[in-house]
Chain A
Amino acid sequence: MAEQSTWRSKVGLAEMLKGGVIMDVTTAEQAKIAEEAGAVAVMALERVPADIRAQGGVARMADPARVKEIMAGVTVPVMAKARIGHFVEAQVLEALGVDFVDESEVLTPADEQFHIDKHQFTVPFVCGCRELGEALRRIGEGAAMIRTKGEAGSGNVVEAVRHMRCVQSEIRRLARLRPDELMAAAKELGAPYELVCEVAHGDKLPVPNFAAGGIATPADASLLMQLGAEAVFVGSGIFKSKDPAARARAIVEATTYYDKPEVVARVSEGIGEPMAGLDVAKLEEKDLLQTRGW
């Protein structure tokens, strides 16, 4: 019997993207540059996070015409963002046939209490997290891929590092606990007990764990990979830099050869200015994107 869109086929696509770079694009032309550089997938959106941050206002799902144009322009998978809790935006993106929906804190949340019930969908979802409990709550709701949030549109890797280190150290901690200590751990984390047991057993998340939010250089990508990310998302870092094609290609190569400093050194040469970036410590609480969602 053939069975469509199983959990294995959803997580399976996430597994296939490992070791790759997923790039934010706002036009079909940018999508082609990303694909040519070696992106494993592109994220279709209306404005990159740095512009959302600069321009303010409510950030919503992209115009379906824009998403379709990007889908028509490339053969790699196309992802698109829906607002947290906005299950109708997710329904629309699924109807368009996108390959992955990102229920994303980069857009203005539509629901401050509930995230989308992602099990109800045929399309797989990726969600952001800052710590292990948040990751497991999203997986409990049906996310087939997790990305640490970082601070999108900042061009500053510090938050991505903080979140990846936090998730990894919490995973290591769970793996050391006795079985009779796991329920208390689930209570502390605010996470489903079964998923806590799965992490403790497997010594890793039940779905692939990627990094996002502030990655702007090949060395940033390598840093997150060395800290345990299985792939990286680069948002504003590419198309807000001086030479997007060269930078995109360099970040792809630095992600594949993340543990070979001589490759990271070579690809980092002469690729032009990175995006300017922000000091996250100086951002006000209200300007942080990472605190959206729970």
Chain B
Amino acid sequence: MNFNATLIGQTVTFIVFVWFCMRYVWPPIMAALEERNARITEGLAAAERGQKDLEQAQAKVSENLDEAKQQAQEIINQAQKRANEIVDGAKDIAREEADKIKSAATADIDQQVNSAREQLRKEVSGIALAGAEQILKREVNADTHAAVLDELVAQI
């Protein structure tokens, strides 16, 4: 081992290298590494947040869906109730109408029966009068027997 000025030269070289490394190599790389670290951390946090948001949204969607289903069910129920009401109302109206028609028909029939009875009574009284005339073979004074006839007519 013989020492010479190389010792000094190497020391100076070493100092220069360390200085350069400290000034131009280490800080930028370290800064980039730390920045990337922060970015990755942030990205992971964002991903987690996104996941959570998605879960919340899904929960909300299913909640909305349930609500919508319930509402639809209510609407259907109401519609059915309404339909029943309408049918019931229509039935009532139809019954009323039918009653009206029936009573009108009944009145008509009554009237016709009455008129037929009247006519029959008149015809019978006519026939009775004619029969009586024939039986008696003489003219019956209508005026004198009118009272009797009317009594007859009333009895029929």
Asked if A and B are interacting partners, one says no
B residues bordering A, Cβ < 8 Å? none
A residues bordering B, Cβ < 8 Å? none
